Amino acid sequence: MNVKSQLRPNCLNFVELLAQNIALISPTMTAALIVPLMFSNTGNISWLSYAVGTVMLLFVAFNLNQFARRSVGTGSMYAYTTLGLGPSSGALSGWCLIWSYLFIGLAGTTGFTIFAGKILAAMGTPLPPLLLFAICLGSCFVLAYKDIRVSTIVMLVLECISVALIVLLCLIALGKRGPIIDSTQFSLSGVSLMNLGLGVVVAVFSLVGFESSTAFGEEARDATRTVPRSIIWSLIITGLFFMFVCYVEVLATHGYSTTLDKIDAPLNVMADLCHVSFLSIPLSLGAMCSFFALALSCMNAGARVMVAMGRHGIFHAGTSRTHDEHETPHVALGIMAVVMFIVVALCRKIFHIEVLDEFNDAGTMGAFGFIASYVLVTLATPFFLKKRGEMQTKHIVLCVAALALLLIPAVGSVYPVPPAPVNYFPYIFLAYLLLGIIRVITMRIRMPQRLGEIREQIHTQHVGEALALPPQE
């Protein structure tokens, strides 16, 4: 099947790639809804969990950048894992990424609906959640379909507005509180290592998505320089922001009638405590825009992974089709939009799940896929460098350190056993992963030569020439 599968080259600069990563991490999401969860695990030293989580993922980023500095193309960690471990492992990595971008995109969609609902209710014109789901996803599709540059600029502007409002509120809170040094937030008294570990799990889940710019290598300018920089800087910027906001929210709510872990709108409470309640509506508007940017970034990134896998026959070839005029992956974008709407609508109408619960569940589900992809790409790094004759002892050390650190969120996701229905989520993800494994086995049986062709195509596209590799994985 011959289809046009050319994305627009050299159209995204460093700032636009950084915007893609930061929009997917969604700093506002953590400030608006996740910090109370963090506080429930680690209390006054919640900021420290974000510091540890940032350092952990920097180790993953260092491994990821071994590929990004040497490889240019579309497909993100799907292609990188293939370069190191072969097409079977690469297909599973891509399979997990599609899952991740789908569910984190749903977190963005439901977050948009929550805050849009608050604003509309305050105006006396409420709309049903299903309609708000459709407005969010439909608008995301139109922007992503028209122009990738326009959509990334929109994401950057929306996230900057939201973050600026949050920083302004935090500075006001620091000014109102008097002394800004809170000694209780620097004491480990009463905090166990298990509590800190659970906090790190939440921190890692807040930061996932920092790698999404790797899906845009074909569209990036000077990709081997701008993509690695965007990965590192997105982690550093958002990690510092999370530490700052978490510290201020804990400080500002000391002595409040309700503890931080039981507050469902901490930014609005801070605005009331600081006597700037007029900021509540702008903050809700900023949060709504930020969640819209999150849904848009996931739709963009997920579609690029689908394009790469469609080119290689793992998905139907039609998924790799790009628009003649806009040079965007309109088919893959449409599939992402439709599937996202079906999932979020069914959960609401059939299973009667509240929108806030849909948000929490979607974020948890998406994190499983990211952790699996991070593990696979980290394992692939030394094999990739060895094939190139560039492996050094430091690369082994970075790989082992990253894998050891990734055990913390992996184990923390299932132990201690979370309450229902979250305790079933790992099994749902494993069932989805099993479908991916079946797809790979089917390809190996029915068209074994195709896997070899995939490996050669990816090496040729991403490295510039096919490496001398044995015929089998």
In terms of pLDDT, which residue wins out, 467 or 264? 264
- pLDDT score of 470 more than 60: no
| Architecture of the structural domain at 14-441 | Up-down Bundle (1.20)
**With bands split at pLDDT 50, 70 and 90, how would you rate the model's confidence at 467?**
very low
Cα–Cα distance measured from residue 287 to residue 278, given in angstroms and rounded to the nearest whole number? 15
* Cβ-based burial of 195 (10 A; exposed 0-12, middle 13-18, buried ≥19): middle
Using the 8-state DSSP alphabet, how is residue 8 labeled? P
Mean pLDDT of 32-47: 89
Mean pLDDT of 262-271: 90
Mean pLDDT of the chain: 89
Mean pLDDT of 433-444: 95
Query: What pLDDT, on a 0 to 100 scale, did the predictor assign at position 76?
Result: 75
**With bands split at pLDDT 50, 70 and 90, how would you rate the model's confidence at 190?**
low
Query: What pLDDT, on a 0 to 100 scale, did the predictor assign at position 73?
Result: 72
Query: What pLDDT, on a 0 to 100 scale, did the predictor assign at position 464?
Result: 57
Query: What pLDDT, on a 0 to 100 scale, did the predictor assign at position 105?
Result: 95
Domain ranges of the chain: 14-441
**With bands split at pLDDT 50, 70 and 90, how would you rate the model's confidence at 466?**
very low
Mean pLDDT of 256-283: 91
pTM: 0.88
In terms of pLDDT, which residue wins out, 142 or 4? 142
Q: Which residues of 384-410 are buried (b: 16+ CB within 10 A; e: fewer)?
A: bbebeeebeeebeebbebbbebbebbb
- pLDDT score of 309 more than 80: yes
Query: What pLDDT, on a 0 to 100 scale, did the predictor assign at position 77?
Result: 87
Non-local (6+) Cβ contacts of 331 within 8 A are 318, 319, 320, 321
Query: What pLDDT, on a 0 to 100 scale, did the predictor assign at position 3?
Result: 56
Neighbours of 270 (CB within 10 A): 27
Mean pLDDT of 96-107: 95
- Give residue-wise pLDDT tens across range 383-434: 999 988 999 999 999 999 999 988 888 887 787 787 888 889 999 999 999 9
Q: Which amino acid is at 18?
A: L
What region, left, alpha or beta, does residue 219 occupy, with left being phi > 0 and alpha being psi -120 to 50 degrees?
alpha
C-alpha R_g of the chain? 22
Cα–Cα distance measured from residue 184 to residue 187, given in angstroms and rounded to the nearest whole number? 5
- Give residue-wise pLDDT tens across range 113-137: 999 998 999 899 999 999 999 999 9
- Give residue-wise pLDDT tens across range 163-176: 999 999 999 999 98
Using the 8-state DSSP alphabet, how is residue 33 labeled? I
